Amino acid sequence: MLLRGKEVIRGFAGPAYLIEIGHTSRDDVSCGKEKESSCMRSLRPENTARAPEHESYGFAPTHEGANFESMVQAFSAGYGVFDGQPLSNDRCFAWAADLRRTEAFTMFHSVYQSSWTIRTLDESPQHLAFYMPYTGSFRLSVGKRTVESGAGHLLMANNHEAGDRVIQGGPHRSDVLFLDWKVVKRALASLVETPLSESLDLEPVLDLSTQPGQLIGNLARTVVQGMRDGGPLPSSPLAAAAMSETLAHLVIRFGRHRLSDHLEKRKVALIAPWHVRRAIDYMHANIAEPLTMTMVADDVGVSLRALQTGFKAFRGTSPAGYLRTIRLQAAREQLRDPTNQQSVREICAIWGFSHAGRFSIVYRSTFGESPRDTRLRAERLR
């Protein structure tokens, strides 16, 4: 919730935090120096009195503070809004973090004096989170399950599908990597030609002793190492983009989720040829435009036949069939939106379906219900 350049960070059962959006550095914390010093000592080894300040953590923090509000302010300004609450005294909550960002990644290498809880808000940026603790642990709820990180395991979850997340331990030290969910959605679209529901139902516990776990875990850690302590990855956008796409593909191909069996049966290639991926990106970017496949082929720079052959081999459908599929999904998202006042016929026309009856037939065969059924269910939520 934005209020004239300020944001309200709501706690679960405590007072709301009204904060200014701005940069919070080591010198910009709200408690007095004397109290801050007392709080921060709990994070620092006793034998580091003469060491430079950053060496007492074992890393150079970009942000640190001595109370919970200063952390909320820094993380909200550096990434986005969230709902959080300390599980102990928030007036003496020492913390330090190395926070780095690229277009698709956000990395936190953090240490906290005590435990705290986080929950996603509707306006929070959507991401796939990888939780990698060194001391302490993470606990999160996904659906009816509650899982906890342990030795030899990594947790990963879509923050808008996960419930409460508890950062446990005193102190707690961990790496957390956020991958922009739009990258995951693009990877899904390039691998699966059928429309996707909102939830991927991703298995949150990744066993690092397995080959899939090692692939995903090693790449996630490589990204973190490339971003921590002023690493080169944030200044290498092409490399960061390639790693974000690869990580998303690894999660989809080797993680367990609702579409895993579908992908196994189809034996879909890990990454389609460049011209197929570029055509898919072009279709998504111009999904509402009156596209022809000749226009798509011209933009990509290949012949129409090469485009059709590539889609048939790697997507199991034609380019036109793929475009129809993503438009069906877009139409479904609008039909499911209780705030959308447009009629079924109007939504049908927006997404290039000129014949409402044929649209209804294709829609029912894809989603198992008519467009009107979807719309009526959304209207009941108003």
pTM: 0.64
What number of other Cβ atoms are within 10 A of residue 97's Cβ?
24
Q: Tokens 């026309």 map to which residue?
A: 349
**How much is the pLDDT for 147?**
94
Residue 347: per-residue pLDDT: 93
Q: What is the dihedral of CA 351, 354, 355, 356, to 10 degrees?
A: 40
Report the CATH superfamily, name and number, of domain 2-191: Jelly Rolls (2.60.120.10)
Q: Note down pLDDT in tens along the chain; length 382 residues.
A: 333 333 333 332 333 333 332 334 444 434 444 444 555 545 554 333 333 345 567 889 999 999 999 999 999 998 889 999 999 876 789 999 999 999 999 999 999 989 999 999 988 999 999 999 999 999 999 888 999 987 788 999 999 999 999 999 888 999 999 999 988 887 887 676 555 555 788 999 999 999 999 999 999 999 999 999 999 999 999 899 999 999 999 999 899 888 887 777 665 444 578 899 899 999 999 998 999 999 999 999 999 999 999 988 877 789 999 999 899 989 988 998 888 889 999 999 999 898 889 999 988 888 778 899 888 877 876 6
Q: Which residues make up the CATH 2.60.120.10 domain(s) of the chain?
A: 2-191
The pair phi, psi for residue 78, each rounded to 5°, is -80, -20
pLDDT digits (tens, 9 = 90+) for 196-251: 555 788 999 999 999 999 999 999 999 999 999 999 999 999 899 999 999 999 99
**Whole-angstrom distance, CA of residue 23 vs CA of residue 77:** 6
Would you say 95 and 169 are in contact if contact means Cβ atoms under 8 Å apart?
no
Q: How many Å apart are CA 362 and CA 307, to the nearest integer? A: 24
Give the pLDDT score at 266: 61
Superfamily of domain 274-379: Homeodomain-like (1.10.10.60)
Strands 116-119 and 17-20, bridge-based pairing: unpaired
